[in-house]
Amino acid sequence: MAVYTHLGAEDLAELIAHYDVGDLVSAKGIAEGVSNSNWLIETTRSRYILTMYERRIELGDLPYFLGLLDHLSAKGCPVPRTIHDRSGAAFRMESGKAVALIEFLPGVSPTHPTPDQARSVGKVLAQLHIASQDFTLNRANTMGFADNLAVLEQCGEGGLASIHPDLPAMIAPARAAAAIDLADLPQANIHADLFPDNVLMLGDKVTGLIDFYFACTGAMALDLATTHAAWCFAGDGGYRENVGSALMAGYESARQLEPRERDLLAEIAKGVALRFVTSRAEDWLDTPDDALVTRKDPMQFAKRWQFYNQHGNSVFR
């Protein structure tokens, strides 16, 4: 369960009392998530998500993350708003750690997305991009292609080969991806990690986009490519063309890609695949052999890199 810090009933009740949300009725730890402690909070008024930021989150980034939620929610995007405390603060400090209370949104995350679900997600992603362009705060992408190269080189050929003999071959394409300049492409504030488990749906309707803790200011095409790589492949690695076509159609129903974006999309998708090769390889090497954690296989995204490399921009037409 992803609850790293224990808060007793009295602690939680005292914390919730700082918000104008009614009295605490129940609190249940949430198993999802690997970086923060999360509780489903029910009060006499409604339900909320309480998050305590444990690691991988810089305190200085919280105004950006939480402010972006409020900005997008106010513009009608299916994004949970931050519940501010009675003093107007978006987050508080508890036991030396930052905590935030977030609106609860209904829905479940798809495990085998349908084309109709992908079309809906594509459209909502484009709407998010349009809505976020006038958000006044900015945050640099800390998972950029050059960052990925540095991590892979730090893992070293020996370390990568200990995971899979084909992994060291990913260093050369990571070096090529690091040279891609995305600065001249249309920019917005992007989610940057829109996997299916970060989307809530009721049927084909998107009811919530969650977990904005990789959000940053960057190329909209990067966000689209990330979502494509996350949504459009089966568990066995096969490309689901109907899902990919629906995702692209949904996106362009709300925002047409510019020619310069379309021309680079396959190269960006290859860079995105390398991002997840990198993060999974790093986590694999950092996880002790006796840890009760199931490692994620970086070769799943190495195969997606191979797919994008083989088919190029024809995938996105």
Average pLDDT (70-89) is 98
Do 88 and 162 reside in the same domain of the chain?
no
Specify the 3-state DSSP secondary structure of 222.
Answer: helix
Residue 56 has pLDDT above 80, yes or no: no
Residue 184 has pLDDT above 70, yes or no: yes
Residue 260 has pLDDT above 80, yes or no: yes
Residue 291 has pLDDT above 90, yes or no: no
Tell me, yes or no, whether 3 lies in a domain: no
Domain with 225, as residue range(s), is 115-316
Position 2 confidence tier, pLDDT thresholds 50, 70, 90:
very low
Q: Which of 83, 103, 123 is the last residue of a domain?
A: 103
Tell me, yes or no, whether 201 lies in a domain: yes
Do 97 and 31 reside in the same domain of the chain?
yes
CATH of the domain at 239: 3.90.1200.10
Question: For the chain, first and last CA: distance in Å?
Answer: 42
Do 93 and 131 reside in the same domain of the chain?
no
Do 69 and 140 reside in the same domain of the chain?
no
Do 53 and 128 reside in the same domain of the chain?
no
Do 68 and 162 reside in the same domain of the chain?
no
Separation of alpha carbons 284 and 240, rounded Å? 27
Of 48-57, 116-125, 266-275, give the lowest mean pLDDT range.
48-57
Q: Which of 82, 103, 124 is the last residue of a domain?
A: 103
22-45 per-position pLDDT tens digit: 999 999 988 665 568 889 999 999
218-250 per-position pLDDT tens digit: 999 999 999 999 999 998 889 999 999 999 999
| Model pLDDT, residue 257 | 98
95 Cβ contact partners less than 8 Å away, ≥ 6 residues apart: 5, 7
Do 251 and 273 reside in the same domain of the chain?
yes
Tell me, yes or no, whether 1 lies in a domain: no
